[in-house]
Amino acid sequence: MAVWLDLTLVEERLKTRYVGRNLLYLTCATSTQDVARVEAQRNAPEGTAVLAEEQTGGRGRLGRSWVSPAGKNLYLTLVMRPPARHLRVLSIVAPLAMAEALEEAAGLTCRIKWPNDVLVGGRKIAGVLIETDLAGAAVKYALVGMGVNVNFDAAAESEIADIATSVRRELGRDGSREEVLAALLNAFEARYTDAQEGDAAFRAWRSRLETLGRRVRATLGERVEEGVAEDVDAQGSLLIRRDDGSLVTVEAGDVTLRA
């Protein structure tokens, strides 16, 4: 049974100055990314959050879909307007904020698979999809889509049962979506501020990376790179040491962790 969010509980816990202060709450959307794009084009203030109880066309990275049943999880998109030099920090800040929120609100230990999948016990609990609209080199807006598996029965979703988890699967009982949401918005604003002022957010993200030191295969369209994930650079790109000893920088893509 779907239980709708209690937004009063969220508001009571919210400590932000602007993130989530303008919140659009929908029972159903194709994708919160689509609704947020329209809001952004209408000059919605930075930090506007679009949240849906259900998505009929939830999207993941790399053209995948995102399982989005009603009243169980969190599906939200933040409208951000970073200066171009800070655009890439969003893909560090978003997974970090989700990991910190899940720890604070549900007591889970979260790791990050480069660049921005949040894992618990090796299974994915949350993901990030960032879509941007540019005017030349300037950023008109960035849509930071975050999906957090809170109370759906991940083990019963046949296509993702082996690779996905949720707060409910980890704890054996339901978690509070309101607490996770408030903690997420709070952590997002705090870490976004950190990321513009120094390297605290970068270091916190890096220290959670499950990927470092592991053998990986990175796929970027047609290109495949295999080797050991040695480190990340200051922009968040992955540095892979190939078997021939050379080092390659991977800015974006999909990474599989090898045995």
Rule CB under 6 A: which residues touch ligand BTN?
Answer: 31-33, 55, 58-61, 64, 66, 75-77, 117, 127-129, 145-147
CB-wise, 59 or 168, nearer to ligand BTN? 59
Number of Cβ within 10 Å of residue 11's Cβ equals 13
Token match 């759906």: residue?
152
Whole-angstrom distance, CA of residue 234 vs CA of residue 39: 32
**Six token digits for residue 30:** 């194709």
Whole-angstrom distance, CA of residue 97 vs CA of residue 106: 14
CB-wise, 221 or 245, nearer to ligand BTN? 221
167 neighbors 149 (Cβ within 8 angstroms): yes
CB of 160 to ligand BTN, least distance (A): 11
CB-wise, 55 or 176, nearer to ligand BTN? 55
- What sections of the chain are H helices per DSSP? 7-13, 32-41, 90-106, 167-171, 177-197, 200-207
CB-wise, 29 or 182, nearer to ligand BTN? 29
CB-wise, 66 or 188, nearer to ligand BTN? 66
Quickly count helices (H) and strands (E) in the chain.
6, 12
Residues 6+ apart with CB under 8 A from 212: 206, 229, 230, 231, 232
Backbone CA torsion sign across 93, 39, 62, 250 = negative
Whole-angstrom distance, CA of residue 173 vs CA of residue 183: 19
CB of 36 to ligand BTN, least distance (A): 8
CB-wise, 55 or 186, nearer to ligand BTN? 55
CB of 26 to ligand BTN, least distance (A): 11
CB-wise, 125 or 190, nearer to ligand BTN? 125
CB of 117 to ligand BTN, least distance (A): 6
CB of 54 to ligand BTN, least distance (A): 11
CB of 202 to ligand BTN, least distance (A): 21
> Would strands 23-26 and 49-52 be described as parallel, antiparallel, or unpaired?
parallel
CB of 11 to ligand BTN, least distance (A): 20
For ligand BTN, the nearest residue by Cβ is 127
Strand partners, 148: 74, 126
